Amino acid sequence: MRDAQGNLLSTYIANGTSTDLADLTLNLSEQYMYGSSRLGLFSSGINGQSVDGGPDAMEGYRRFSYNRGFKQYELTNHLGNVLATISDRKLA
């Protein structure tokens, strides 16, 4: 998906063997983080969040746990070139 300016917001993976797109399972793969420019990405891994079936009922909110190692931040220079990427994984 892209926003109105053409920036990439998220990527999805369709799983299945059917040739009909409606029969495939759609999973969220990556979400890009933005500030005034792109900061990095959040990768939900192989088994991403399923987006099939429409929105859930808003009766209760889901609880999320914070798992390290899924975010990658991009360090850029003044021209916007990515020089290095770092993770949020804490190393002892």
pLDDT (tens digit per residue) in 11-68: 888 888 887 777 788 888 888 888 878 888 887 655 555 555 554 554 454 555 667 7
What are the backbone angles phi and psi of residue 84, rounded to the nearest 5°?
Answer: -155, 155
Measured CA to CA, the distance from residue 70 to residue 60 in angstroms comes to 26
Q: Where are the domains of the chain?
A: 10-50+64-87
pTM to 2 decimal places:
0.54
Per-residue confidence (pLDDT) for residue 51, from 0 to 100: 58
Neighbours of 86 (CB within 10 A): 11
